[in-house]
Amino acid sequence: MLEQLKQQVYEANMELTKLKLVSFTWGNVSGIDRKAGCFVIKPSGVEYERLQPSDLVVVNMDGQVVEGKLNPSSDTPTHLVLYKKFADIGGIAHTHSPWAVSFATAGRDIPVMNTTHADTFYGDIPVSRQLTKKEVESGYEKNTGNVIVETFKNRNLANNQVKGIVVRQHGPFTWGDDPLEAVYNAKVLETVAEMDYHTLNLNPDALKLEKYLLNKHYLRKHGASAYYGQN
């Protein structure tokens, strides 16, 4: 079932390796078919070199495997929470890319300091709070999803304008209209994290992007008045 989506999710997972966003098996991508009420996700612990579309696992919105011989990613409950709470997203990517993890470990937002960032993310990429001992010991992966949703709610962020987060002491999750966009956003997030790291080392007092320049770069690529690219 969902063979076309499986192929798309497979290709998105393979993009993680091509873009050097993952080492070993440290990452996963999923994609959802909302009409079918199921999503497709990478199996747990399978090396990318061995991965085939037929290995991917189909999971329903109750978190139950409905097709697949392998165990789904251990991050499946996180993906499930995000699909339920962010009803407009079509794909999710998770990596442990080093520059993004550096901000997650430091407990810092990835600030919007340049137009490269503003082309994709409408503002700072937030860092979540740390999970509590209870949250880790009782439903760790589900609570990871919950803390992502909580962060967006508490900070009044729109998940369709800032399509990513760094979970404190863990790493980045990104999403998009489909799995490939989720991976694209993961690469942009990693790139701007590296840029910001170097910027803040060169000049700890460097200024964040002015709102008028943020608006110009984001809105020329997104929304009704966008004019970047070809019709």
Give the tens place of pLDDT for each residue, 127-140.
999 999 999 999 99
What type of residue is 75? D
Into how many domains does the chain fold? Answer: 1
Which ranges of the chain have pLDDT less than 70? Answer: none
Domain housing 104? 3-219
The helix (H) or strand (E) run that includes residue 141 is helix 140-154
Please enumerate in sequence order all residues whose Cβ is within 8 A of that of 116, keeping only pairs 6 or more positions apart, or say none.
188, 191, 192, 195
Per-residue pLDDT at 2: 96
Per-residue pLDDT at 102: 98
Whether residue 128 lies inside any domain: the answer is yes
Per-residue pLDDT at 112: 98
Per-residue pLDDT at 231: 76
Angle between helices 179-202 and 98-106 (to 10 degrees): 60
Whether residue 231 lies inside any domain: the answer is no
Whether residue 227 lies inside any domain: the answer is no
End-to-end CA distance of the chain: 34
Whether residue 73 lies inside any domain: the answer is yes
Whether residue 228 lies inside any domain: the answer is no
CATH, residue 109:
3.40.225.10
Annotated catalytic residues are 119, 228
Whether residue 166 lies inside any domain: the answer is yes
Per-residue pLDDT at 99: 98
